[in-house]
Amino acid sequence: MAGPVIELQTTAVAVGGEMVARDPEGRVVFVTGALPGETARVELYDERSRFARASVIEVIDAAPGRVSPPCRHVGRGCGGCDWQHIDVSVQTELRRSMVADVLARDGGVVDPVVETGEPLAAAGLRTTVRGTAGADGRFAFRRRRTNQPVEVDSCLVAHPLVEELVAEGRFGRAQDVTIRVGARTGERMVLTSPSTAGVRVPDDVKVIGTDQLRKGRRAWIHEEVAGRTWRVSAESFFQASPEGADALVREVQQLVDRWAPEHTRLVDLCCGVGLFAGSILSEEPGQRVVGVERNASAVADARHNLADEPVRIVKVALGKWQPSNAQVVVADPARSGLAREGVWAVAETGAELCVLVSCDPASLGRDARLLGEEGYRHAGSRTLDLFGHTGQVEVVSAFVRDLQS
């Protein structure tokens, strides 16, 4: 059932990628399909007392930077990319301004320094995509705001090794389909839920179902990043592309080199498969590293990946970890961020520097405020476009401890 249609003017970008407007009564409306500074007719689809959500149905006065979506599936309702109507260079600036706004508003950072990191291609990089199976078993993304499948035979943002499986694979009646590849090794894997029934893909592709994982079976691929080969299991997290992972490592290393180059003790919180624990180096010899991770699959991968390095991997939930002394903490938490227990853990290490890798600006804003309460000053952030054509943003931030606090 269609909702009310009204005319609005957008003013800014909100966390998550929607644009902000106000209706005639002054209520905040979050609008998809718009840019800041546009006048558009929108359909309200979620109305609350304090805010509403809407989608653009007609642009009356377009803002500079509006383009025709380069992927034909956007017009069919595919919900995989929400910013294809925005020029790539404008996407970069919107992500930067989104982060600066949230650091000032929610993080309490006065005049936050937020810069854009090294450029990454908006298309053809993503080595992991998640979707479902359509009526005939073809890969499908979900329609915007619904679970209804939209079958696709291509994907603009996907790596070619992924796109081949999107186009040619058959996934039975799987409710969830994850395609993951190693772009630099050529290895490929498909994870389906609840089982692998009806899955048909090329012989080189590893196929595993969530039912098999529950019974203890394991499967993995390998990827090459930062001069190392990394094992990544089906239930382990890894960055969206090797190019993006390389860029993150470089950004983190630059901050460590600037603020704590002579450290000898480093802690990698939420270390995943060990990317930062195995890549961030000190100018001093004999660096000791502790990695902290709760996910069993990632812990197994990290111990395998770093077996030849002086790194100790601790399997424990962040809130139950007994902090080790450190001079540098690198933290790459999930979307929910460090939260109070994670910030407490950072502070208890006594580290002079915390490098925080964030994938959600709202969590970054909250974590910045909590770190500030523990005496850590925001020393700058850099945004990375790991998720081209979407409102998602990856942020690398430095927080330096004020020893006089």
Angle between helices 361-373 and 88-105 (to 10 degrees): 30
Question: Which residue in the block uniquely carries the two structure tokens 């772009």?
Answer: 183
Query: What is the distance, to the nearest Å, from the Cα of residue 45 to the centroid of all Cα atoms in its chain?
Result: 26
First to last CA, the chain: 57
User: Which distant-in-sequence residues (6+ apart) come within 8 Å of 176 by Cβ?
Assistant: 130, 131, 132, 192, 193, 210
What pLDDT score was predicted for residue 405? 44
Ordered by where they begin, the domains of the chain are 5-65 (2.40.50.140), 89-121+240-401 (3.40.50.150), 128-221 (no CATH)
In 10-118, the DSSP E strands lie at: 12-13, 19-22, 28-32, 39-47, 51-61, 114-116
pLDDT at site 311? 96
Cis peptide before 261 (omega within 30 of 0): no
pTM of the model as a whole: 0.95
pLDDT at 403: 62
Model confidence pLDDT, tens digit, residues 125-143 = 999 999 999 989 999 999 8
CA distance 179 to 199: 12
- The mean pLDDT value of the chain amounts to 96
pLDDT value of position 233: 98
Positions in the chain whose pLDDT score sits under 50: 405
Catalytic residues: 359
Q: Is the dihedral of CA 339, 270, 286, 322 positive or negative?
A: positive
Pairwise CA distance, residues 314 & 310, whole Å:
13
CA distances from 385 to 259, 269, 344 (A): 24, 23, 29
